[in-house]
Structure 1
């Protein structure tokens, strides 16, 4: 089975969804995508986020929580005709002009009888003669593999042969770009770039908290909403989400990150530019700089003096960084919570007068990074891994 990053899977799903929009007649020809991968890697969130971004319907079917009758419908006897009709659930989309994604999540957790009940809808996009899935709806499935220590049933050859199978792997840089755009806590992003081995690890006990993209996202969200909690309670929360080992490393890293210079004062021009010497603090510095840039900056006023001065100061600071760190910081600063914000931030940064001077110093590494993105499946967040030795040089 071929490995794919979440961004690559997202690109393929987006491509199929766009094909159905322009040519609904292709519905019978496009193979449904089956996303395989360990828990917490983001299989279902990819599909849900795509539906939200495209403004289409989304229907999440958990077969492990269903009975076969939930799919096929209830039998209703018709004594006059001496026959039985089927009463289908109202959740199935009826509008033939509608668009959406039908996700059979945790498909591998369902037993064979439920998988068989789903065959007809997955294979033929229909339920008997009573229901046909509108052509604008994309069929997707997701599930865990047998080695993931999660509930997983085997697939029949008939069902497996219908899908296009993708094995999702955890992608730190793709997640970091997304996390930056979502405004997640910069200490988490910085730590995982410094210690990428802690991003995803199923080697230890997985019956309690363990490191995964999902659990680190929850750490970042919990820190943002739990600033009023005592440090000891925050530590319990971190350990409960990602486990003792990774949690202890992160909290030690965060102690160093809290000793960073005042980034807000730097961006406001009220303090000197101070670049940390330690590698771990430089990671925290870069993530924090990109995160702080847009806070209280008057971002909505693109021509405003406040934003222009902050951007100028941002470039003055990042010019002092090595090219790999400067590129990392600029790419993080470009990210927004949605496509429109990302585009606006990118235009503001690259259109600023100080960008030319920045590009003269760091442009080669920045161009190489963008070129690497273009040779892969193009997505908003796809990035190449950073060279640790080059960063420390």
Structure 2
């Protein structure tokens, strides 16, 4: 439930897998109520492909693919949750029509607002009514979460009521956090290029592809938000009145172990167990220096391993981009010059990206002249 709450808050498309009658639909409806988002429930088994691709009608001398009413209601609301329930009861033709809806939020000729979240629920095909396997293209557009229950939790629910969504959650990550997470995932994939894409031979749930690595990077960013920034849904963020998570003043406690658990659920749900656990292990062992420290102290030690140097420079460029200042941009070139002496190919990659992020009014430091061979090899200067 924590992973579902984080995914919905960060607008990550997610699917819950679980046995019938275990409360998946009720949990999604409760989450929508908790977050103040309208929920439109769409069951694929009673829909036609035109309910997602649009019904062709003549309009003003042309053909218009008219969206269904549920899409119009979400568009009018401006935000909400599109809940695709009983997904494995949708036949292949309907699943194919859902592809643009899940990825592009397009329903016929109507594009849903970006703040509309996509949540799905499914029973394993063997337990679904006239069940179908989830197609690989549709599965690759979603983060897969296993919905499990225990006898103790059910017994407790009958005694004292079933719990709603946990108010301890991470706010959507900012652009800087996402950029840093993307740099980390990119550095990992340089070390393990064979994990970039692994298309399954048969029916599968989560599997690695550039699209799902993007989802995994956002999941890493979601679970990298500082503890002081985590807050309860619907609060203002003022520790004195809203109960900021971890503030010790009546807020909701979020333990580091909980954040790690949610990160694992989301990353593995995006790219699968083999690739996901390998990324998580790699991230756990990184222990990277703070970007600001590297920019401030020219003598700050750098990692020895190439993959960590890649990750460090990616984090620094993301930090400089978020800062937007000319001074930090110029100091970053000094760091790239240090790296160029031992790893010119790594420096060239970072230089290419940093050059495109030049702030207005920033002057080129003298270090750039020393990097001329590197910049030429990267195609950044004649």
Normalising by structure 2, report the TM-score. Answer: 0.40
Normalising by structure 1, report the TM-score. Answer: 0.39
Q: Larger RCO: Structure 1 or Structure 2 (Cα < 8 Å, ≥ 6 residues apart)? A: 1
